[in-house]
Amino acid sequence: MSVVQNISRLSKWYLPGIIGGLIITMRHLLLNLFNRKQMTTVNYPEEKYEYSPRFKGNHVLTVKKDGSLRCTACMLCATNCPADCIKIVASEHADPTVEKYPTTYEIDMLRCVFCGFCEEACPVDAIRLGPEWQTPGVSGSNFIYDINTLAYRSNLKGGILSHVDDEERHKAGI
């Protein structure tokens, strides 16, 4: 079979293609200018797209009723993370009724693939992927999220309460 195509005389000229493209661009520009409600694009950052509540965006470390971290530093999230981007340093808690807790909990957001495996692996609802998707930063260190950012950043308004309650867990013997 021949791979050589018959090219018409007109198609050898690039000008008709360019003019056709410009006409399409101008048509869309004018339609959007005079009918902004029909625009398919969003005027970011003035307008922001509302994603589904199931959207997996920036991580949140949840807190207990007293505001301390829910995380028990069990390492399940870090072990399950396919990008190996969670770093935890665990420590014994002074209160014997409390399991270990993380003295360091960091996520390298530049390596994270937002798969949600950390959230799935956590047995105590200590980590969730929330609806926020903006991750601005001016240097690499801005993308290492620590405990302060993950649990207590200003838009979390003091922290997100975990569904898992210690009293209920102790009653159930877990």
Position 72 contacts ligand SF4 (CB under 6 A) = yes
* Residue 114: φ, ψ to 5°: 50, 45
The stretch near ligand SF4 (CB under 6 A) out of 25-33, 69-77, 138-146, 148-156 is 69-77
Choose among 106, 128, 121: nearest CA to 76: 121
Smallest gap, in angstroms, from Cβ of residue 117 to ligand SF4?
4
d(CA 28, CA 58): 35
Tokens of 89: 């340093």
Position 60 contacts ligand SF4 (CB under 6 A) = no
Position 86 contacts ligand SF4 (CB under 6 A) = yes
Length, in residues, of the chain: 174
Residues 90-149 that bind ligand SF4 (CB under 6 A): 107, 112-118, 121-122, 124, 126-127
The stretch near ligand SF4 (CB under 6 A) out of 76-84, 131-139, 147-155, 161-169 is 76-84
Question: Which CB, 21 or 123, lies closer to ligand SF4?
Answer: 123
Position 161 contacts ligand SF4 (CB under 6 A) = no
Residues near ligand SF4, by CB under 6 A: 71-77, 80-83, 85-86, 88, 107, 112-118, 121-122, 124, 126-127
